[in-house]
Amino acid sequence: MTPHSDEVDRIVDAWVRQRPDLDFSPLEVLSRVDRLSRHLDRARREAFRRSDLESWEWDVLSALRRAGEPFQLSPKQLLQQTLVSSGTMTNRIDRLVGRRLVRRESDPGDGRSILVTLTADGRTRVDAAITRLVDAEALLLGALSRGDRDRLAGLLRKLSLGFDS
């Protein structure tokens, strides 16, 4: 053990003593990813709470905000970005309309369809939340230089592309 050992090092060292026949390098990586994920979840929940948003509300509002002016998408486009069922999305839109964070509008290109549009209040909340989120995530990565962050992002991208295909 070194002064820079963490809990994962202690766990892996104990396993190596008990099972020297196994390669614990996957555990060294993914146990740390799991632990960091818990810190990230807490930071995100707090950033959203401070903006009076639930994480599911953030998902919908941020998709609309990222769409750019006029900050609107069809329910189908929202489904594709948030990966929830049609019934779930309908319920979410209803609840966001009730909170006046979005509104439904007729699609001018197809009178039978609707578009979901971010309201001014919805935009204010999502902008506050993304600012808080970026600040919180920067704190989580504070021990890494910009170069370290870039390398880590590249490695994680490489790993995630294997799951996305």
Encode pLDDT of 1-46 as tens digits: 567 889 999 999 999 999 999 999 999 999 999 999 999 999 999 9
Give the integer Cα–Cα distance in Å for 96 and 123.
Answer: 12
- Going from the C-alpha of 12 to that of each of 36, 73, 147, the distances in angstroms are 17, 47, 28
Looking at the domain assignment, is residue 145 inside a domain?
yes
Looking at the domain assignment, is residue 165 inside a domain?
no
- For the chain, the domain total comes to 1
For position 63, what pLDDT does the model report?
97
Looking at the domain assignment, is residue 2 inside a domain?
no
Looking at the domain assignment, is residue 76 inside a domain?
yes
For position 4, what pLDDT does the model report?
83
49-70 pLDDT per residue, tens: 999 999 999 999 999 999 999 9
User: Do you know the residue count of the chain?
Assistant: 165
Is residue 165 predicted with pLDDT exceeding 70? no
* Cβ contacts of 115 within 8 Å, gap of 6 or more: 72, 73, 74, 104, 105, 106, 107
Q: Which pTM was predicted? A: 0.82
- What stretches of the chain show up as alpha helix (H) in DSSP? 7-18, 25-50, 55-66, 75-82, 86-98, 120-140, 146-164
Task: Check which CATH number belongs to the domain holding 35 and give it.
Answer: 1.10.10.10
Q: What backbone torsions phi and psi does residue 142 show, to the nearest 5 degrees?
A: -55, -25
Compute CA 105 distance to the chain's CA centroid, rounded to the nearest angstrom.
27
Q: Which residue segment(s) compose the domain that 126 sits in?
A: 7-160
Looking at the domain assignment, is residue 27 inside a domain?
yes
Looking at the domain assignment, is residue 1 inside a domain?
no
Looking at the domain assignment, is residue 40 inside a domain?
yes
Q: Which residues of 8-27 are buried (b: 16+ CB within 10 A; e: fewer)?
A: beeebeeeeeeeeeeebeee
Give the integer Cα–Cα distance in Å for 78 and 116.
Answer: 9
Looking at the domain assignment, is residue 103 inside a domain?
yes
